[in-house]
Amino acid sequence: MKFVLFIFLFINTFFSYSQIKIKDLEAYRSKYKHNDAVVLKQNIDVKYFYDTDKNLKIATTKSENILYLTDNASYLSEELIYHNGLSSVSNISANHYSFDGKKYIKTEVKEFLTEDRFSPSIFFDDNKITRVLYPKLKLFDQTEYEYTEINIEPFLSDIYYFTSYFPIENMELKVTVPKMVNIDYKTFNINSENIKFSKEETSDFIVYKWQAFGLQEYKISEQSVPISYYKPHIAVYINQYDKGGKSQKVSADVASLYNWYYSLIKDVNSENSVQLAKLADSLTKNKTNRIEKIKSIYYWIQDNIKYIAIEDGYSGFIPSKAEEVLQKKYGDCKGMSVLLYSLLKNAQIKSYLTWVGTRDIPYSYSELPTPNVDNHMIVVVENNDSLFFFLIVHQNSIHINIRPTLFKIKMHFLV
């Protein structure tokens, strides 16, 4: 599995807290009587830029202003900032405005705690959480915070959701791009009545802006489908950009995505391995039927190699070498797939490393040619009668050519 960062638009560009009259505070409380808080303002300001070494990077400044509408708001006294090895977070600032019944008293927040982010489904990754810790919050208090995130990999695009766990009064997403950088965007579930788009050009930059008003909160339900199927969101990605005087394609089309994926795996097993050849020979010995050979290798990996998810920087996209997985007796979906691919190759059976997305991801490669479309690697083998075997090595007891429900009706990207 690979980790692809999704950013909820609960966070935005710094502004002073909202000066609200007491009668208006009561109006907010009445308007949002079923909510513990309301987001008054939030902005995301995205800027594409070249660093001193002329590498393209993406700086995203995010900030938010929240008004609390209950005395039981202490459980909301922390904000979480997510980041990983392919991004860095800096310039964190936050303020707490305590309401004494007549006026606001400002306190600068100085406690920010960064720690590893643990997931029960991942053995090791480089994901981090920075916690913004506020004092105990009460009725009509306000908070605001801001930080900047730098993304160093142009191929990893962001998806911005126009939603929050609380209603949003006013929100803006702004993307500023030098004219030598050609971006594209796709909108999903966007209602033009409450989300307005504008585009401006200067001599050097193009500015894309989306403004939204009166957005409803996101209600969590175990029975609900993933929010990407129904909540408004925008995917922004790079088509191509100028790199040292030459045009560098990124996510211009499906072919561009293929070229990037291929560049990450082409050197994984570039050398012949005596150990892999011997193992493939032992597993296929006395088996003259091609399908029996495939089954023997496939089931051996399921029985002898343990699936452990590991995501650390580019290792979320670049597989471990087959010999390494074999020696350690464990690997993630990419490493196990590479081992299967290599053993099949040694058995003279052609196969393909294949990216596929689980069903909670609603996009297709044709509409969104980015890594946001998939999150798992499997192996596909073409059979003589033009059928395909889908080999899912990271799930035990999956029969050959049986796809788990989470992969059904999904496009498969053969590399």
Name 304's Cβ contacts closer than 8 Å, sequence gap at least 6. Answer: 329
* Fold of the domain spanning 7-252: Immunoglobulin-like (2.60.40)
Sign of the four-CA dihedral 44, 211, 34, 188: negative
Residue 152: its pLDDT value, please?
Answer: 83
Q: Rounded to whole angstroms, what are the CA distances from 7 to 65, 154, 278, 283?
A: 17, 16, 47, 46
Residue 9: its pLDDT value, please?
Answer: 40
Q: What is the pTM of this model?
A: 0.85
Return the percent helix, strand and coil in the chain, to nearest 5: 20, 40, 40
Residue 10: its pLDDT value, please?
Answer: 38
Q: From CA 170, how far away is CA 230, in angstroms rounded?
A: 20
Helices 274-284 and 290-304, axial angle in degrees (round to 10): 120
DSSP state string for 283-299: HHTT--SHHHHHHHHHH
pLDDT 10s per residue in the chain (415 long)?
Answer: 444 444 444 334 444 566 788 889 999 999 999 999 999 999 999 999 998 888 899 999 999 999 999 988 888 888 888 877 677 888 999 999 999 998 999 999 988 888 776 554 444 455 778 889 998 899 999 999 999 999 888 888 889 999 988 999 999 999 999 999 999 999 999 877 789 999 999 999 999 999 999 998 887 765 678 888 888 999 999 999 998 888 999 999 999 999 999 998 888 766 678 999 999 999 999 998 898 999 999 999 989 998 887 655 555 788 889 999 999 998 888 999 999 999 999 999 999 999 998 888 999 999 999 999 998 888 988 877 656 777 776 666 666 766 666 666 577 888 8
Tokens 């800096």 belong to residue: 90
Q: From CA 164, how far away is CA 39, in angstroms rounded?
A: 8
Q: What residue ranges do the domains of the chain occupy?
A: 7-252, 264-414
Helix (H, G, I), strand (E, B) or coil at 207: strand
Residue 74: its pLDDT value, please?
Answer: 82
Residue 8: its pLDDT value, please?
Answer: 41
Residue 5: its pLDDT value, please?
Answer: 42
DSSP state string for 309-375: -EE-GGGGTSPPPHHHHHHHTEE-HHHHHHHHHHHHHHTT--EEEEEE--TT----TTT--SGGG--
Specify the CATH number of the domain 264-414. 3.10.620.30
Distance from the Cα of residue 135 to its chain's centroid: 31
Residue 114: its pLDDT value, please?
Answer: 82
